[in-house]
Amino acid sequence: MNRRMVTLLATLAPVLVLGVLGTTVKVPFVALGPGPTFNTLGDIDGRPVVEIEGTALDPTSGNLNMTTVAVRDKLTLFDALGLWVSGRQGLVPREEVYPPQKSKDEVQEENSAQFAKSENSAEIAALRFLNLPVAVEIGTVGEGGPAAGVLREGDRVLRVGDTPVESVEELQEAVGAAGAGSTVDITFVRDGVETTAPVTLGSRPHADGADANRGYLGVGASTVPEVPFTIDFNLADIGGPSAGLMFSLAVVDKLSPGELNGGDFVAGTGTIDPDGDVGPIGGIPYKMIAAKEAGATTFLVPAKNCDEAVANRPDGLDLVKVESLGGAVDALADINEGRPAPSC
């Protein structure tokens, strides 16, 4: 081998090594990017995304799209560089998405549980917005707790003393305000029969300070619909709580006169709680890209995400600031009637 060949190989060796490493060595990052969007007024696999049966529905058209973030894992060095240069993806430390103390399956299970909880919250928020009845249903009763022997699984609580309760939060507040050691009348329905029974409240285990004086019932409960129809959400393999707002809007749109979106293409994101309050989410730059590429012209943004949304807004996408389900409905009405809507 002549000297020129030796020199050439010595020059190329680092490049060849880098090339091999770049295509095989994994980096401790994941890529976040635009994920699929789903029209909550449309169908998927032959079924409505938001399926309501047992009552008349108002006609809908256009789009109310929920948006998602795609996560790419097990990136090589070259994968990561290519995705970062594209401008459509962002790189974050893998531990932010998959904490090292949890397996990937555990993270996915948590995301699925959050999604299921968001479905329930979306349903309850929509029904309460429409002034349709909901109830507080007992799920578990702590053995030896204050409510043991009085309440059972499946009981629906109506009142604590003279205070009506229509959500778990209202139940907790009424019980807490009554105070530890006090005896209160709990009115509930069991097997269609309304009953009132006294319960002496305890104090929350391990509570301290002012919380130690708050009343404790010792039950697990959930807020459930009390309507003669069913609402189902037919999206699978989606995780996290950020579809809540768009699910609620779809329920409201299908159960009330008129079209919330004016027949246009609206997309958005945001968590929602049973009271209809909208909370912030992650990955909004990528969700806005996905919405714009799907055809949206209006994007509903949780108020606390506004700064990030403005800094990353795609051209041609109007950003509407929302803090609650009622605020989102009002903002869409403003747009439909030509009035300025709250914006980021």
Report yes or no: 35 and 66 within 8 Å, Cβ to Cβ. no
Q: What is the reported pLDDT for 240?
A: 82
Report yes or no: 98 and 32 within 8 Å, Cβ to Cβ. no
Task: Tell me how far the alpha carbon of residue 274 is from its chain's centroid.
Answer: 11
- State the catalytic residue, choosing from 254, 287, 292, 321: 287
Q: Calculate what percentage of the chain has a pLDDT beyond 70.
A: 92
Q: Which residues pair with 186 in a beta bridge?
A: 160, 197
- State the catalytic residue, choosing from 121, 167, 242, 324: 242
- pLDDT per residue as tens digits for the range 256-314: 999 999 999 999 999 999 999 999 999 999 999 999 999 999 999 999 999 999 999 99
Q: Coil, strand or helix: which one is 233?
A: strand
Q: How many CB atoms lie within 10 A of CB 229?
A: 13
What average pLDDT is seen over the chain? Answer: 89
Q: Say whether 242 is catalytic.
A: yes
pLDDT at 9 over 80: no
Q: Which two structure tokens, joined as six digits, stand for 147?
A: 């409510």
Tokens 């890209």 -> residue: 289
User: How sure is the predictor about 2, in pLDDT bands with cuts at 50, 70 and 90?
Assistant: very low
Q: What is the reported pLDDT for 6?
A: 38
User: How sure is the predictor about 24, in pLDDT bands with cuts at 50, 70 and 90?
Assistant: low
Q: What is the reported pLDDT for 161?
A: 96
Report yes or no: 141 and 154 within 8 Å, Cβ to Cβ. no
Residues in contact with 171: Cβ distance below 8 Å, sequence separation at least 6, in sequence order: 136, 157, 160, 165, 217, 221
- pLDDT per residue as tens digits for the range 70-125: 998 888 888 878 777 777 888 888 888 888 887 778 878 888 888 888 899 999 99
Q: What is the reported pLDDT for 7?
A: 45
Q: Say whether 203 is catalytic.
A: no
pTM, two decimals, is: 0.84
What is the pLDDT averaged over residues 14-21? 39
Q: Judging by beta carbons within 10 Å of its beta carbon (0-12, 13-18, 19+), is residue 338 exposed, middle or buried?
A: exposed
Q: Which pairing describes strands 47-48 and 163-164: parallel, antiparallel, or unpaired?
A: unpaired
Q: Which two structure tokens, joined as six digits, stand for 222?
A: 């959930």
Report yes or no: 156 and 164 within 8 Å, Cβ to Cβ. no
Among positive and negative, which fits the CA dihedral 30, 34, 40, 44? negative
User: How sure is the predictor about 19, in pLDDT bands with cuts at 50, 70 and 90?
Assistant: very low
